[in-house]
Chains A and B, each alone.
Chain A
Amino acid sequence: MNKIPVIIDDKSFEVDPHKTILEVCRELDIEILTMCHLKGLTDIGACRLCLVEVEGINKLLSACTTKVAANMVIKTQTERIKKYQRITTELFFADRNHVCAVCVSNGKCELQNLGYKVELDRIRYPHLFPQCEVDTSHPWYVMDHNRCIMCTRCVRVCNEVEGAHNWDVMNRGHQVRIISDFNTPWGESSTCTSCGKCLHACPTGAIWPKAIVQGQLEKNPGMVNELVERRKMKL
């Protein structure tokens, strides 16, 4: 396949066409922050953390849903981008009730790591402190909506990889919630196969197995892509 020339952060590269800016940057070890992206799942450009500047286009574009084009001039580290990454991160924390000290994910959390990455030292927006449910109805797993950031990685892994489509999103705006079936308690779901892939896909401590204590959670989000790749292999 013919490679195409692009310029990323003032350096020239020859890259594969048909790939997204995010894929290209990851291969070149250029850091782009993401939250809703998980390799192996369809990208939806929801979290707005992977925004990049492309010369000739005024608005910022999400790297995960924008394909590279010949002679594209991409910037990933400008002040404008850093400003938005910071705002987005602060809004994640202000939207629900994220308390790292009492969380199963403490120390291994993608949201917490993002906070460190953008050097979050305070949150300029008022916390909404919504009343969120903790669904403990499933025999093995817990869904804590207080820690959910609505990345919908659980929804996509359940639909695209497991094929069960137990999860989806209800309502809109600040009222959005992840639901199973007809907003049924998870343990009473008719579609859940209890496979546990949503748990590994979840970037925070929103979905976790019972019998885990604070800070002890080990997740393996990479298993999603491993599964997807193995299914493509010919025996």
Chain B
Amino acid sequence: MTAHTTHHHVHTHELSKTDPRVKLLAAKIKKENHKPDALIEILHTAQNAFGYLPKEVLIYIAQELKLPPSRVFSTVTFYHFFSLKSKGEHTCLVCTGTACYVKGAQALLNKIESQFSLKPGQVTPDNKLGVAVARCIGACGLAPAVVIDNEVQGKVTADDLINSINGKIATI
């Protein structure tokens, strides 16, 4: 058996050709001419489209770029930007850098835990909300800072935070 023939043995949970996220990914791969060196850019597109990198997507990318599966998996697990698990439809990133920590980041995390039963790195069972921490997002003047769905909010109180999160979840 050679490496070329064995690629067909990979079981693909069929990606739906009509799924707009798959179309976006296919277009990106075409734009990059199926070049294996474009792996990181293509993974970026997939991560942004799906919110994480499901195994079927990794198989698809490996086949399209003719890259060994282990090389793709190695790249995905090396960079923190990529995630193999869903981070949640909405995300709340609490900065726990020194300034934010002093200004009460822990109180924010405690409030989130009591309100949504979520610890950093966890996602609600309905996949609506995920919570994460960052060491420092570089917005120390805004301490304590959080990032809700890529939107930075500074000098937040625990109650503000719960209100903004509830607002985001309600809007879908």
Binding site for B on A (CB under 8 A): 159, 163-172, 179-184, 190-191, 193
Give the docked Cα–Cα distance between A91 and B42 (Å): 37
Q: State whether A168 touches B2 (Cβ < 8 A).
A: no
Give the docked Cα–Cα distance between A139 and B168 (Å): 51
Which stretch from B67-75, B125-133, B156-164 is at the chain A interface?
B67-75
Say which residue of B3, B55, B77 sits within 8 Å of A191 (CB atoms). Answer: B3
Q: State whether B3 touches A168 (Cβ < 8 A).
A: no
Smallest beta-carbon distance A226→chain B, Å: 22
With an 8 A cutoff between CB atoms, is B58 at the interface? Answer: yes
* 8 A-B pairs in the complex with CB atoms less than 8 angstroms apart: A165-B70, A166-B70, A169-B74, A181-B68, A181-B70, A184-B69, A190-B6, A191-B69
With an 8 A cutoff between CB atoms, is B9 at the interface? Answer: yes
Give the docked Cα–Cα distance between A44 and B6 (Å): 29
Q: State whether B74 touches A170 (Cβ < 8 A).
A: yes
Q: State whether B78 touches A191 (Cβ < 8 A).
A: no
Query: Using Cβ atoms and an 8 Å threshold, which residues of chain A touch B78?
Result: 170-172
Query: Using Cβ atoms and an 8 Å threshold, which residues of chain B touch A163?
Result: 2-3
Q: State whether B74 touches A179 (Cβ < 8 A).
A: yes
With an 8 A cutoff between CB atoms, is B119 at the interface? Answer: no
Query: Using Cβ atoms and an 8 Å threshold, which residues of chain B touch A159?
Result: 68
Give the docked Cα–Cα distance between A168 and B70 (Å): 5
Which of B3, B10, B55: most chain A Cβ within 10 A? Answer: B3
Say whether, besides A163-B3, A182-B55, A190 and B10 are in contact (CB < 8 Å).
Answer: yes
Say whether, besides A163-B3, A182-B58, A193-B3, A168 and B9 are in contact (CB < 8 Å).
Answer: no
- Tell me the interface secondary structure of chain B in the complex: helix
Q: State whether B74 touches A164 (Cβ < 8 A).
A: no
Query: Using Cβ atoms and an 8 Å threshold, which residues of chain B touch A168?
Result: 68, 70-71, 73-74
Say which residue of A165, A171, A183 sits within 8 Å of B68 (CB atoms). Answer: A165
Besides A165-B68, A180-B70, A190-B9, 13 other A-B contacts (C-beta < 8 A): A159-B68, A166-B68, A168-B71, A168-B73, A169-B74, A170-B74, A170-B78, A179-B74, A181-B69, A182-B59, A190-B6, A191-B6, A191-B68
Smallest beta-carbon distance A172→chain B, Å: 6
With an 8 A cutoff between CB atoms, is B1 at the interface? Answer: yes
With an 8 A cutoff between CB atoms, is B155 at the interface? Answer: no
List B residues 65-122 near A (Cβ within 8 Å). 68-74, 77-78
Q: State whether A167 touches B3 (Cβ < 8 A).
A: no
Query: Using Cβ atoms and an 8 Å threshold, which residues of chain B touch A167?
Result: 70
Query: Using Cβ atoms and an 8 Å threshold, which residues of chain A touch B1?
Result: 193
With an 8 A cutoff between CB atoms, is B34 at the interface? Answer: no
Give the docked Cα–Cα distance between A231 and B10 (Å): 31
Query: Using Cβ atoms and an 8 Å threshold, which residues of chain A touch B70?
Result: 165-168, 179-182, 191
Q: State whether A190 touches B71 (Cβ < 8 A).
A: no
Smallest beta-carbon distance B51→chain A, Å: 19
Give the docked Cα–Cα distance between A167 and B69 (Å): 9
Give the docked Cα–Cα distance between A164 and B9 (Å): 14
Smallest beta-carbon distance A179→chain B, Å: 6
Say which residue of A171, A179, A184, A193 sits within 8 Å of B2 (CB atoms). Answer: A193
Q: State whether B73 touches A165 (Cβ < 8 A).
A: no
Give the docked Cα–Cα distance between A168 and B75 (Å): 10
Say whether, besides A165-B68, A193-B2, A170 and B7 are in contact (CB < 8 Å).
Answer: no
Residue of A nearest to B80 (CB): A172
Query: Using Cβ atoms and an 8 Å threshold, which residues of chain B touch A164?
Result: 3, 68
Q: State whether A181 touches B73 (Cβ < 8 A).
A: yes
Give the docked Cα–Cα distance between A179 and B74 (Å): 8
Smallest beta-carbon distance A197→chain B, Å: 13
